[in-house]
Amino acid sequence: MRTNDKRVALVTGAGQGIGRGIALRLAQDGFTVVVNDVVADASDLERGAYEVKASIEAAGGAAHVFRADVASAEERAAMVGFVAERFDRLDLLVNNAGVAPKERKDILEAGEESFDRLMAINLRGPYFLTQLVANRMIAWQEQGMVETPRIVFITSISAYTSSPSRGEYCVSKAGLSMAAKLFADRLAEYDIPVIEIRPGIIQTPMTAAVKEKYDELIAEGLLPTKRWGRPDDVAKVIAAFARGDLDYSTGQAIEVGGGFGLRRL
């Protein structure tokens, strides 16, 4: 059955961390949220995509889980097919899913396997998911199903900051930053705004392994705003974009990093 009276958002990698924060906020703001993740165990309501769905529903919102690997062309197509079949509209795509290298290795030694894995998940996946979604959004717009659909790319401060012990991550995020500009340029004539969000150091399961290191760096003054970022810091910017407040800033990158990117003297 199609239920297309409410705005619909698709958030990739929304089973935990930043994606979870974005999904909860969008649901609170009235979106029906498609919670995508590569891991989704329906019997586990304590963590992962089904916990997010349960939390949204407990707060009176609407959510659906769609398990898919963004690196797989078939699974991307199945996910967009689900959205089309179920809602016949998509108002917001948030390309959030992303991974860090399994092991940090010096750029003089790191191998091609980790490079290929990160390119597939962090760059090729969102690039072609966006291509697929953008074509649908244009069609839905022409049919009057959506007014101003929008697209977000979650990159990182690593899009411009060198970390030679995870070069493949930096390169994948720098590439994704350009993808945001390309789609913003191409889609502006259709009135489909696109923004890039660059999180700084955000407390999530991804950064749990390096928590002590960053605790120290933050205490030593790495960030002008002396605290870790939280998923809701990112979600607030997306909420503003989803409302239409940033539409004329299409193609811009917004850093959510407590001032990390400031040059200081």
Residue ranges that bind ligand NAD, judged by CB under 6 A: 12-13, 15-19, 36-39, 69-71, 96-99, 121, 154, 156, 199, 201-202, 204-207
User: How far apart are CB 1 and ligand NAD at their closest, in Å?
Assistant: 26
User: How far apart are CB 201 and ligand NAD at their closest, in Å?
Assistant: 5
169 catalytic? Reply is yes
Nearer to ligand NAD, 33 or 146 (CB): 33
User: How far apart are CB 191 and ligand NAD at their closest, in Å?
Assistant: 26
Nearer to ligand NAD, 139 or 262 (CB): 262
Q: What is the number of other CB atoms lying within 10 angstroms of the CB of residue 251?
A: 16
User: How far apart are CB 176 and ligand NAD at their closest, in Å?
Assistant: 8
Nearer to ligand NAD, 33 or 145 (CB): 33
Nearer to ligand NAD, 70 or 179 (CB): 70
For 235, phi then psi, to 5°, come to -60, -35
Closest residue by Cα to residue 73 from 125, 116, 119? 125
Burial zone of 55 (CB within 10 Å; 0-12 exposed, 13-18 middle, 19+ buried)? middle
Residue 107: what residue type?
I
Tokens 């009135």 -> residue: 191
User: How far apart are CB 76 and ligand NAD at their closest, in Å?
Assistant: 9
Nearer to ligand NAD, 191 or 215 (CB): 215
Spot the catalytic one: 160, 169, 190, 214: 169
CA atoms within 13 A on the CB side of 79: 33
Cβ-contact 133, 127 below 8 angstroms: no
Q: Any idea which residues carry the catalytic annotation?
A: 169
